[in-house]
Amino acid sequence: MLERQLVGQLDGFDGEATKQRTTPVSTPPFEEIPVPIRERDTTILNQDSFDIGNFFTQTDGRSPDLTYLSDFQELPELSPDFTNVDAISATCMDWHTAGGIIMSNIGTTTPVKQYEAIPTHIRDNLCLPALVRADLDQLYFERVHLVSPIVHKQKYFEWALDPSHSPTPAQACLQRAMHTAAAAASSQFREIEDALYLDTREMLSALESRCVGGSRKYRPRSASNNMPLEQIQAWLLLAQYEFLRKNEDQAMITAGRAFRLVQLARLFDVDSPSSSSAVTGFTTEGGEGVGYGNEHTGLQSTQEPFARREEKRRVFWMAYCLDRFLNWRNEWPLTLDEETIHTRLPAPETNFQHNQPIQTDFLLDVLDGNGQAPVATPFAECILLATLCGRCMSHRRLASVVTLSKGGCEPREFWSRHDSLAAAVEKRRQSIAQSFHCSSSSGKWNGPSVPAPASNLDIDPMLTFTYVLAQGAIIYLSTTTETANWQSVEHQVRASTYQQRAFRAAVELVHLAKVIPRIGRFKVHPFVPSALSQAVEFLTSHTNSPCMVTSGGEDTADGLAALFNALDNLKDINNLARELLDELDQEGTCRGYKRANYMY
């Protein structure tokens, strides 16, 4: 019945399309008057009133959002014209290749997997109406920004909502990347996330082609002075999206491109006095100080606004963390070295968003105990833990190299490095627990109703992930001691001590696995499954160890059930969680545990 109605509507497309080429297209009511930021922040897409006929629009045969690409290529006209399909229901939101008809339910959570299913003329001219853009913006700052805090909200809305000019190419790439990440963090936009993703990649590729072409505006030799910050932000968000929704290999390739752009822009040198000329020459497309302002900062007008420099810091630190998290599971070499960093740790979110200057410490000063300012933000704590995780990887790799070259491990050097890393990880873990009032568990499972850790973890996805990361690092250090064949009783006892610490960390991860659903599936950090899998591997591979035997097999079974359920809870939105469950299923590890007598 719906198909007959749609065919009747589509019969007049050719005539209507011809008529509209000579008649100005009327602007929808919600686009006539720019929506204030406050209203845009609270606008929520109403699926019942959403008009899919306005979902794809065109102006003079060209997508309004893509007019900045006119220098690259002429965009084809849309055919058929979707602007007059008023009879299409709001619940019809999927692609159908025959005649470009839209045919299925918007409420489904199954994403489009085949890019070929998206009509080319729609995919290449993807244009979102103002209401959808507002909803995606809100989703981004409510969900994605919590674990990727790299965009200054006021600055973004000033250029995104400014009707007097179109976004620059780099800004348009950033906006599309933000919308792609937001679509992946929702249920109502899952069916367009592939189209948004492809469009983002094409836009970034077009922008880079222009840079490589050597135009007057973009010259590779002066990349540090002319690299748009929004371009790097877009690549980082795209890499994180690919890790979340595609696969690790593709995410590594995309992230590698972002890391090189970070190096070209010298974001590792933001606070170095010797590189002040390179830093001040850095461009943020859309004008000097857009959305930042110096009127409330106490800075002279010739100086860089605090929020602008802070945004650069955050972009660098997100790349730095992404480098370590992507390499953590597979133990790949790192790209961004900590020894070359002259960029301060990120400031609190309030200072960043309100452009309130505050001086933070450098990374190495904090880790060496010489920091002057307290580490009071989850993002900064996450950076410190990511650094220690990178050092743990280097420690294991060095031990492996020494074993191969000398035929055995050097016990004194190994244990010196190992004890130092373990102490640093424990110090950071305690810092998180004390600063945010997180109570450590007693080391024994008391059933699914245990509310540990404390409530602050329930509402902060970054803080929860940081605490998860600390437990994962403890387990990683324990498994590192097992790579060597210790001959002396002393070394075997020390290795056993670290194994007991790892068991307590696995217990804590079980508690955290029960807390994670309270955050909300779409707010969970993309790399949480990696740390949870470490607990699964440790518990299943040490079933006969003394610490496991004394704890009781029933407790172990309950703990594994909690971990499997946490991964199962994330598998529909996190590819790593799904891949880990598939691997465990193939190994037979999940049998008897997954969903066994356990309910959230």
Measured CA to CA, the distance from residue 410 to residue 487 in angstroms comes to: 12
What does the pLDDT read at residue 79?
Answer: 35
- Place 285 in a pLDDT band, splitting at 50, 70 and 90: low
In DSSP notation, 456-516 reads HHHH-HHHHHHHHHHHHHHHHHHHHHTTS---SHHHHHHHHHHHHHHHHHHHHHHHHHHHH
Residue 285 shares a structural domain with residue 379:
no
- Place 39 in a pLDDT band, splitting at 50, 70 and 90: very low
pLDDT tens-digit map of 203-253: 999 998 876 554 444 444 444 557 899 999 999 999 999 999 999 999 999
What does the pLDDT read at residue 104?
Answer: 33
* Lowest pLDDT segment from 132-136, 169-173, 368-372, 478-482: 368-372
* Lowest pLDDT segment from 193-202, 440-449, 584-593: 440-449
Residue 434 lies in a domain: yes
Residue 273 shares a structural domain with residue 382:
no
What does the pLDDT read at residue 68?
Answer: 37
Instruction: Please say if the pLDDT value at position 387 is more than 80.
Output: yes
Contacts of 362 (CB under 8 A, 6+ apart): 271, 341, 342, 343, 344, 345, 371
Residue 268 shares a structural domain with residue 416:
no
Residue 597 lies in a domain: no
What does the pLDDT read at residue 532?
Answer: 94
pLDDT tens-digit map of 505-555: 999 999 889 888 888 899 999 999 999 999 999 998 887 666 654 454 446
Residue 345 lies in a domain: no
Given a contact cutoff of 8 angstroms between Cβ atoms, the answer to whether 234 and 287 are in contact is: no
Residue 271 shares a structural domain with residue 389:
no
Mean pLDDT computed over 50-74: 39
Instruction: Please say if the pLDDT value at position 74 is more than 90.
Output: no
What does the pLDDT read at residue 372?
Answer: 77
Instruction: Please say if the pLDDT value at position 292 is more than 90.
Output: no
Residue 284 shares a structural domain with residue 379:
no
Host domain of residue 413:
374-587
Instruction: Please say if the pLDDT value at position 179 is more than 80.
Output: yes
Residue 336 lies in a domain: no
What does the pLDDT read at residue 381?
Answer: 94
Residue 95 backbone phi and psi in degrees, to 5 = -90, 145
Residue with tokens 């990683």: 476
Residue 379 shares a structural domain with residue 284:
no
Instruction: Please say if the pLDDT value at position 450 is more than 50.
Output: no
Residue 92 backbone phi and psi in degrees, to 5 = -100, 105
pLDDT tens-digit map of 306-319: 999 999 999 999 99
Tell me how many domains the chain contains: 2
Sign (positive/negative) of CA torsion 563, 567, 570, 574? positive
What does the pLDDT read at residue 402?
Answer: 73
> Higher-confidence residue: 455 or 76?
455
Q: Where are the alpha helices (DSSP H) in 407-437?
A: 411-435
Residue 361 lies in a domain: no
What does the pLDDT read at residue 139?
Answer: 97
Instruction: Please say if the pLDDT value at position 364 is more than 90.
Output: yes
Instruction: Please say if the pLDDT value at position 177 is more than 70.
Output: yes
Given 309, 337, 355, the domain boundary residue is 309
Instruction: Please say if the pLDDT value at position 54 is more than 50.
Output: no
What does the pLDDT read at residue 583?
Answer: 87
* Lowest pLDDT segment from 109-123, 335-349, 494-508: 109-123
Instruction: Please say if the pLDDT value at position 47 is more than 60.
Output: no
Candidate ranges 228-237, 392-401, 425-434; pick with highest mean pLDDT? 228-237
Residue 369 lies in a domain: no
What does the pLDDT read at residue 239?
Answer: 98
Residue 349 lies in a domain: no
- Place 395 in a pLDDT band, splitting at 50, 70 and 90: very high
pTM for the predicted model, two decimal places: 0.74
Residue 222 lies in a domain: yes
Given 309, 343, 358, the domain boundary residue is 309
Mean pLDDT computed over 281-300: 43
- Place 116 in a pLDDT band, splitting at 50, 70 and 90: very low
Residue 259 shares a structural domain with residue 406:
no
Instruction: Please say if the pLDDT value at position 279 is more than 80.
Output: no
Instruction: Please say if the pLDDT value at position 167 is more than 60.
Output: yes
Residue 276 shares a structural domain with residue 379:
no
Measured CA to CA, the distance from residue 545 to residue 539 in angstroms comes to: 10
What does the pLDDT read at residue 476?
Answer: 96
Contacts of 560 (CB under 8 A, 6+ apart): 536, 539, 540, 593
* Lowest pLDDT segment from 94-108, 442-456, 503-517, 527-541: 94-108
Given a contact cutoff of 8 angstroms between Cβ atoms, the answer to whether 210 and 218 are in contact is: yes
Q: What is the mean pLDDT of the chain?
A: 74
Residue 423 shares a structural domain with residue 563:
yes
- Place 77 in a pLDDT band, splitting at 50, 70 and 90: very low
What does the pLDDT read at residue 223?
Answer: 43
Residue 65 shares a structural domain with residue 195:
yes
- Place 587 in a pLDDT band, splitting at 50, 70 and 90: confident
- Place 437 in a pLDDT band, splitting at 50, 70 and 90: low
Instruction: Please say if the pLDDT value at position 189 is more than 60.
Output: yes
What does the pLDDT read at residue 107?
Answer: 35
Measured CA to CA, the distance from residue 510 to residue 453 in angstroms comes to: 11
> Higher-confidence residue: 582 or 446?
582
> Higher-confidence residue: 367 or 592?
367
Residue 280 shares a structural domain with residue 397:
no
Instruction: Please say if the pLDDT value at position 199 is more than 80.
Output: yes
* Lowest pLDDT segment from 72-86, 503-517, 559-573: 72-86
What does the pLDDT read at residue 35?
Answer: 37
Mean pLDDT computed over 439-460: 45
Q: List the beta bridge partners of residue 344.
A: 362
Given a contact cutoff of 8 angstroms between Cβ atoms, the answer to whether 516 and 464 are in contact is: yes
Measured CA to CA, the distance from residue 130 to residue 34 in angstroms comes to: 9
Residue 380 shares a structural domain with residue 516:
yes
